[in-house]
Structure 1
Amino acid sequence: MTPSSVMSTDAVAPSERAPAWRDWIWKHFGGLESDLYGDTGFDGHLSASHAGDVVLTKLEANRHRVVRSPRLARAGDTSYLKIVAPWRGSAAVEQQGRQAWVRPGGWAIYDTTGSYEIANPERVEHLIVMLPKEQVAERGLQLAPLMARHVGGASGISRVALETMRSTFQELPAMSDHAARGAGELIIELVRLSLQELAGRESATTQLEAFRDRIREHIGQHLRDPGLSIERIAQSLNCSKRHLHNAFSAEDDTLAHYILRRRLQACMRELKNPAQAQRTITDIAFSWGFNNGAHFSRVFREHTGLTPSDFRDTALRQALVTEAR
């Protein structure tokens, strides 16, 4: 058995690499938008194989983000659960108001039938595994509360699952179709067992994750309020500011940066939306809790690598290309 597809920017002219990458990501992952933080230089490589119904992809690339919008999630015709397991670099998985950071030695899972965003803020080498959702959900496993979670990988069944996913990808070229299908079925079972263990785990860790979920839900409900602050969140949740900060102490984001990033992401979605093209950038920014245009422009450029107007122009041109597909 040989890899089902291999794509590399090595043979692509530097000026064409970014659009080629976006096109590959769109086609390979079934309608997934990507941006490069405004970087002009880029190189990336994809190598994908099938183990029965399971798709395993090795992705190597410069920093980039991928987004599956609610519209694209609704339009998808195949239901997959998706796993990101870094060999190098890190990824932030966001879905259903939750966020999970994952680094080498761990893995996180999310659902392609819902909207999500994956940030890769540095050069990465990831194993990405796609599993048929209905096969993982057998035996009454409730998947929704487990999405955008750091499942594990350091010990126990989640480590066995991670090592099996990695070794299967590496050994697939030497496997028969029958053996590959069996390996895919084993991966599905190990992932299911890992999720069952995560669902049944009662510990201080899951209690802390539940508290973080409450914080994120509150932020999501009040994101448009320019008065949203750590003080107000603490008052609303009846806890101390120190308790809030401690809840986010293991995250790569501080709580203040998390709020800022959620607001920027909301503005990015509306700037990309052709239906919002007649609204001014200032109107969009102020509708999502910003109250200073210069500050918004500065933090937006730091986050995306582009000014808001350049970001909008680029996104709307890409939307026209997407509609033509």
Structure 2
Amino acid sequence: MVAALQRQVDSASGRAFAGLARNLFGNVRLDFGAGGEEKSRMTSAMLGACRLTRLEADRHVVFGDHVTAAPDDPDAIKLIVQTEGSASLTQGGLQALVPQNALVIYDPSRPYMLTNSTPVRQMLLQLPRHALPATAVERLAQPFTAHAEQDGMCRILLSLMDSTIHEIDLLDEARRSSVGQTMIDLVRTMIGADLQQARSVANPLYVLLQRIKDFIDINLERPDLTVTMIARRMGCSVRYVYRAFEVECMTPSDYIWDLRVQKAAAQLQEASGYAGEISGIAFALGFSSSAHFSRAFRHRYGVSPSQWRKASIS
């Protein structure tokens, strides 16, 4: 059981540090300058809808100009807790200092520069954008900062993050998810969001489902559109994506293929009948083969794509 849980933890050190950072945080660029990249190490794990990361590194600068440049880059709000050393975050014309035992919450989809002027130890929490009300996200046009000495909520969150990362190998998936939700609630409270009002307006899973559907619709033609890609983009676990689709009584993959077939049927209704038209529509909508497309189409409509097109033309 412990071995299975450990496999859900990502870790890297030395030269592999920057690669894992890009994989977890999106299109970021790290510059260690004269610092020692070989001294860096990182441990990271999913907590349901959140990702918690602990890192140690020599002084370096993180450039986040195009963090969500690719469809599979995580679209998440980020929180950094400084447990040792000092740093500053420059974003939106504001420079926010991040001293020891302080935190900064920011929207990494907006260009930023994180300057770690000393060797640092940090805890990072990524929250999927849909987990926060729109009004809270709007407040993050500039970084939000808090210090444990002045803010009791900040102290609680710091303590929870630290104890969680130390016990991560002993927590099963359900407990990790529960802890992650607690962290989301703490963050929402810290930045002034009205939790009860937000929950009455929209179920977080419903909001996530709508965002996933929008993402699928935009990327439907990609043959590599997978649940893993969707989860990464939404900043949550694969299991959380499946939970969002439970209300639809289908899996995310079923939804993708069904939507592709529906769009293909609509395009075939406007077909002109030229050779290769059916294959062209299939490939343009992400099907890897004409045979796969024909099977899926017949399963959905009871006729072949060519029969459907002929009926539409006649």
Q: Is the 8 A contact 1:51 1:172 kept in 2?
A: no
Q: Is the 8 A contact 1:94 1:116 kept in 2?
A: yes
Task: Report the equivalent of 1:87.
Answer: 83
1:286-325 paired onto structure 2 within 5 Å? none
Q: Is the 8 A contact 2:63 2:112 kept in 1?
A: yes
| Structure 1 residues 61 and 158, CA gap change in structure 2 (3 angstroms) | same
* TM-score in terms of structure 1 length: 0.53
Task: Report the equivalent of 1:225.
Answer: none
Q: Is the 8 A contact 1:22 1:35 kept in 2?
A: no
Separation in structure 2 between the aligned mates of residue 78 and residue 58 of structure 1, nearest angstrom: 18
- Is 2:61 aligned against 1:65? yes
Task: Report the equivalent of 1:8.
Answer: 13
What is the aligned counterpart of 1:131 among 127, 132, 135? 127
Question: What is the DSSP-based 3-state SS (H/G/I as helix, E as strand, rest coil) of the residue aligned with 1:122?
Answer: coil
Note the residue ranges of structure 2 that are not aligned, 5 or more in a row: 194-314
1:83 positional shift:
1.0
Q: Is the 8 A contact 1:153 1:161 kept in 2?
A: no
1:206-225 deviation line (CA, Å, top 9, x unaligned): xxxxxxxxxxxxxxxxxxxx
Which one-letter code corresponds to 1:122 in the other structure? T
Q: Is the 8 A contact 1:94 1:117 kept in 2?
A: yes
Separation in structure 1 between the aligned mates of residue 37 and residue 192 of structure 2, nearest angstrom: 42
Which one-letter code corresponds to 2:89 in the other structure? V
1:158 positional shift:
2.0
Separation in structure 1 between the aligned mates of residue 25 and residue 37 of structure 2, nearest angstrom: 23
What is the aligned counterpart of 1:107 among 103, 118, 123? 103
1:142 positional shift:
4.7
Separation in structure 1 between the aligned mates of residue 120 and residue 18 of structure 2, nearest angstrom: 16
Choose 54-63 or 168-177, whichever is displaced more.
168-177
| Structure 1 residues 182 and 41, CA gap change in structure 2 (3 angstroms) | closer
Q: Is the 8 A contact 2:68 2:75 kept in 1?
A: no
Separation in structure 1 between the aligned mates of residue 75 and residue 36 of structure 2, nearest angstrom: 34
| Structure 1 residues 157 and 22, CA gap change in structure 2 (3 angstroms) | closer
Separation in structure 2 between the aligned mates of residue 170 and residue 72 of structure 1, nearest angstrom: 28
Q: Is the 8 A contact 2:25 2:67 kept in 1?
A: no
What is the aligned counterpart of 2:21 among 12, 18, 25? 25
1:69-123 deviation line (CA, Å, top 9, x unaligned): 1x44444643211111122111211211111111222111111211111111111
Separation in structure 1 between the aligned mates of residue 142 and residue 46 of structure 2, nearest angstrom: 23
Separation in structure 1 between the aligned mates of residue 166 and residue 63 of structure 2, nearest angstrom: 27
Task: Report the equivalent of 1:168.
Answer: 164
Task: Report the equivalent of 1:224.
Answer: none
Question: What is the DSSP-based 3-state SS (H/G/I as helix, E as strand, rest coil) of the residue aligned with 1:141?
Answer: helix
- Is 2:177 aligned against 1:181? yes
What is the aligned counterpart of 1:54 among 37, 47, 50? 50
* TM-score in terms of structure 2 length: 0.55
Q: Is the 8 A contact 1:92 1:99 kept in 2?
A: yes
- Is 2:145 aligned against 1:150? yes
Question: What is the DSSP-based 3-state SS (H/G/I as helix, E as strand, rest coil) of the residue aligned with 1:173?
Answer: helix
Which one-letter code corresponds to 1:135 in the other structure? A
What is the aligned counterpart of 1:195 among 170, 191, 194? 191
Which one-letter code corresponds to 2:171 in the other structure? M
Tell me the percent identity: 25
Question: What is the DSSP-based 3-state SS (H/G/I as helix, E as strand, rest coil) of the residue aligned with 1:58?
Answer: strand
Question: What is the DSSP-based 3-state SS (H/G/I as helix, E as strand, rest coil) of the residue aligned with 2:192?
Answer: helix
1:191-230 paired onto structure 2 within 5 Å? 191-196=187-192
Which one-letter code corresponds to 1:194 in the other structure? M
Which one-letter code corresponds to 1:4 in the other structure? V
Separation in structure 2 between the aligned mates of residue 40 and residue 189 of structure 1, nearest angstrom: 37
Q: Is the 8 A contact 1:73 1:114 kept in 2?
A: no
Which one-letter code corresponds to 1:179 in the other structure? R
1:40 positional shift:
6.3
1:42 positional shift:
3.7
Q: Is the 8 A contact 1:73 1:115 kept in 2?
A: no
| Structure 1 residues 143 and 122, CA gap change in structure 2 (3 angstroms) | same
Q: Is the 8 A contact 1:146 1:195 kept in 2?
A: no
| Structure 1 residues 32 and 193, CA gap change in structure 2 (3 angstroms) | same
Runs (4 or more) in structure 1 with deviation over 6 Å come to none
Question: What is the DSSP-based 3-state SS (H/G/I as helix, E as strand, rest coil) of the residue aligned with 2:191?
Answer: helix
Q: Is the 8 A contact 2:144 2:191 kept in 1?
A: no
